[in-house]
Structure 1
Amino acid sequence: MLFYSKLIEFRQSIKYIYFIKFTNLYRTLKMDEKNKCDLKEISEGLATIKTRGNVFYNPVQEFNRDLSISVISVFAKQFRQEKLEKAKSSEQETIDWQAGTKYEDGLYILEALSATGLRSIRYAKEIPGVKEIVANDLSAKAVEDIVNNIKCNNVEQLVTPSHSDAVILMYQHKHHQNQFDVIDLDPYGCPSIFLDSAIQAIKDGGLLLVTATDMAVLAGNSPETCYTKYGAISLRIKSCHEMALRILLQCIESHANRYGRYIVPLISLSADFYIRVFVRVYSGQYKCKFSTSKLSHVYHCTGCDSFTLQPLGILKTNEKNTNLVKFKIPTGPAVSQKCEHCGHPHHIGGPIWSAPIHSPEFVKQILQTASEKLVTIRRIQGVLNVVSEELHDVPLYYTLEKMCGTLHVETPQMIIIRSAILNAGYRVSFSHMNKTSIKTDAPTKVIWDIMRSWEKLHPASKKRLTEGSPAAEILSKTPEKEYSFTKHPKANPPSRQLGFIRFQANPLPHWGPGSRNTAMVGDQKISKSKKNQGKRKREDSPETEEKN
């Protein structure tokens, strides 16, 4: 009996083992089938990729990728011509580079955080004059997708997949023989952890593209966090998006200066939920000495939103020989303890990059050469035309609704205020970051005098001018002179006259940066956004309190 009972137990154990094996095999087959079903085909530009739900893809950033292609294409021609001139070659740029073809003297490009490989594949198919593109990602699953997408798009000769930590990979390319001509950093959140290695891995005169999506930190919601990440204090001011760009630029410059290098910004944009800068990186210990004159602290009035810049360094030129420059430390502070306009205290932010953030010549070349086949070409033309009109030597800007809100006065048409500034003999422009922006070289006192003159024509309610308020303090002073609001012929900018799409609406419902390692395709992101909308209001509602 004991023998038969043991035999039955043995047979049952064998059945159990086979049952487990069959179950595991069934689950594996079902997962493979699910993964095949989850594969989504995405077409953008000349690339078509397949991606799974756990790999990050954001369609809103097509503008980002289109613009990057346009910028690198212009840079490729410039970089080649500069190399010929440096080599003192008599050869002229006669080669008509074609996209999708490998050139041994072409660009060596790194996309450090590639995800699906879409950007690298588009670079290979749409940028003329490429030698090699390294598409790197830390995720093994992402690299699998990159390899498959490279094969599907027939760009194996141009795109090389890489499975590595981006920082380590860039440190491995810091020797001048292995450096990249172009490095593209488009991380989720803050890019600062990649900057030290990127600065060392890029060639002299190379192009560095950097994106930052942590706008809450850069725009003043968490200044202490901004300091830990970027080495600067952010402020909650109306021109916070431009200040965010300038904080990022000073952070890149700071990393570059440690290695005897410096940056020259080509284009700096704030778009959608992120900021994006395109800078060239050069080597030169002497040029690094000019960095202090390109950086400033910002004094921001807590009452009237006025701002004043205090440079970290100033330059003194010799009258007899303008090539001789002395580097001086400025005296300060640039403001008194209380604001001269409204009597309120100041916050101090920065340091920020206070030199120009665009190259007008480079922007003009992109407008002339950008491909009409790009899906977002109309947006590129609209934004870059506004950028080309910006006052490049004037940091930060005011906003019309903030100034009118401070004084509690009727808001005039933008063209009226612009005319008043132009009639007073000063320059004025929009910023691409805000449709009510006023970027001007007029002193702050002149701006408030213009607003006082406007208030005389459209008086503010006396009930709202409480004692000690910014409005009461500003309007208690008399303008030094009368200002004309007659329409000025240059008040209406060319970009508006030509009907360009200058300021963009939200591209999609429930748009945003998305979640890390979450695909921005299908209904996953949208359903989560819908679920979270109004969450705080529901939690604070009386019904919720009664339930609790």
Structure 2
Amino acid sequence: MLKKLQEGSCSFYASAGKISKELPVFYNPDMKLNRDVSILLLKSIPDKDLRILDLLAGSGIRSARFVKELPASKIKDIVVNDKSSEAVKLIRKNLKLNKVNAKVFNRDANELLIQSSGFDYIDVDPFGSPNPFLDCAAKRLSRKGILAVTATDTSALCGSFILACKRKYWAAPVRNYMMHETGIRILIRKVQLIGAQYDKALEPVFSHSTRHYMRVYFRCAKSKTAVDKMISKHKYLLFCNKCLDISVHPQNRKICCKKSMAWAGPLWTGNLWDRRLILSMLKRLDRDNPALLNLLSTINTESKIGVPYFFSIPLICRNLKKSCPKKEEILKIGKTAQTHFALDGIRSKKDIKKLKKFIQAL
């Protein structure tokens, strides 16, 4: 049963049933923020005349919003694809409803990519892992193009299924307070390794973990030197369960407090965000969108810190055997910020000893 819905500037039809990969077309309202970010990001980059591919379009709402909400100068060509014939019927219906012109295809995603001449923006937003589409997407991403990747198989990336993560993402996850950040960094490394085969350095310019999914936007640079520099940032994060220290290390073995540290990786240890892009997005942000405003505001502050990890306030306080002070008091230590990955997490340039000493005195 189809239901008429509204998102952004578009009306559209989508299934009113329970969200399931068995459904040929479904609409997930929790993914509205995902689409809001993609539209704001495209508004905020200087690129024009983009060849855009919505690879796994579903209801077509993302593409309809792209055409309706982005300046006309941004889009040269937009291709909307889904392998489901039912989905394609609905895409055509929704594009017509919104008076949007686009090229619509009912093809296998990888076949479409390989037989194309390439795209400047490729959106890979699957139900589950993006793995089946990464190789062809990397091949057909233009120089300086943007690849947007969603992963909803967070149970693997966050450590509930360790072997699945090793098989799919070639890395070991960790099941602790930092699992969403280590998960997104594992995802980033996997995408980067696929691009590296084609001498394409895929640098993340915006990343976020929201509810049941992870989302990363990569900017492509066609350069062997850039690829080598990128790969040099593939390391391990190590955790001491006794003193709570965190270490970035090229190996997955290190002793702390006379015990081997827990670890995750290999994973990306570079930046998750481009600071200039964040500032550009904040300038163009619609202040009537509280979810997007909250996400961007938090990321704006945490992106200034520049370390690939954060600390858990409750964990530190349990370690110190004291009640948790207000987060605002802890942030006064300086060079410390709230992280969007966890409400009770703080990203800090201060080491664990200084943080514990400061919190103990509160």
Matched letter for residue 246 of structure 1? R
Q: Distance in 1 between matches of 2:138 and 2:228?
A: 18
Structure 1 residue runs without a partner (length 5+): 1-37, 81-105, 312-331, 455-483, 486-548
Match of 2:254 in 1: 335
Q: Is the 8 A contact 1:389 1:429 kept in 2?
A: yes
1:101-139 Cα shifts (integer Å, max 9, x gaps): xxxxx2111111111111111111111121221111111
Q: Distance in 2 between matches of 1:186 and 1:151?
A: 23
TM-score normalised to the size of structure 1?
0.61
1:464-499 Cα shifts (integer Å, max 9, x gaps): xxxxxxxxxxxxxxxxxxxx65xxxxxxxxxxxxxx
Matched letter for residue 431 of structure 1? T
Q: Is the 8 A contact 1:303 1:345 kept in 2?
A: no
SS in 1 for 2:296: helix
1:303-353 Cα shifts (integer Å, max 9, x gaps): 454321113xxxxxxxxxxxxxxxxxxxx67732xx22xx44322320111
Match of 1:361 in 2: 276
Larger radius of gyration: 1
Runs of 4+ in 1 over 6 A off after TM superposition: none
Percentage of identical aligned residues? 30
| 2:179 counterpart (240, 248, 265) | 240
Match of 2:42 in 1: 72
How far 1:302 moved relative to its partner? 3.9
Match of 1:466 in 2: none
How far 1:39 moved relative to its partner? 2.6
1:478-528 Cα shifts (integer Å, max 9, x gaps): xxxxxx65xxxxxxxxxxxxxxxxxxxxxxxxxxxxxxxxxxxxxxxxxxx
Q: Is the 8 A contact 1:300 1:308 kept in 2?
A: yes
How far 1:449 moved relative to its partner? 4.1
Q: Does residue 214 of structure 1 match 2:214?
A: no
With over 3 angstroms needed to count, the CA separation of the structure-2 counterparts of 1:266 and 1:392, relative to structure 1, is farther
> 5 Å matches for 1:52-201?
52=15, 53=17, 54=23, 55-75=25-45, 78-80=46-48, 106-128=49-71, 129-156=74-101, 159-173=102-116, 178-201=117-140
How far 1:51 moved relative to its partner? 2.9
With over 3 angstroms needed to count, the CA separation of the structure-2 counterparts of 1:260 and 1:239, relative to structure 1, is same
SS in 1 for 2:47: helix
Cα root mean square deviation, aligned:
1.9
SS in 2 for 1:123: helix
Match of 2:321 in 1: 408
| 2:338 counterpart (416, 422, 430) | 430
Q: Is the 8 A contact 2:305 2:348 kept in 1?
A: no
SS in 1 for 2:175: coil
Q: Distance in 1 between matches of 2:263 and 2:313?
A: 23
Matched letter for residue 207 of structure 2? S
How far 1:392 moved relative to its partner? 4.4
1:123-158 Cα shifts (integer Å, max 9, x gaps): 1111112122111111111111112222222213xx
Q: Distance in 2 between matches of 1:114 and 1:304?
A: 47
With over 3 angstroms needed to count, the CA separation of the structure-2 counterparts of 1:244 and 1:268, relative to structure 1, is same
How far 1:203 moved relative to its partner? 0.6
How far 1:282 moved relative to its partner? 1.4
Structure 2 residue runs without a partner (length 5+): 18-22
Matched letter for residue 414 of structure 1? K
Q: Distance in 1 between matches of 2:272 and 2:180?
A: 13
Greater share of residues in strand: 2
SS in 2 for 1:79: coil
> 5 Å matches for 1:37-48?
38-48=1-11
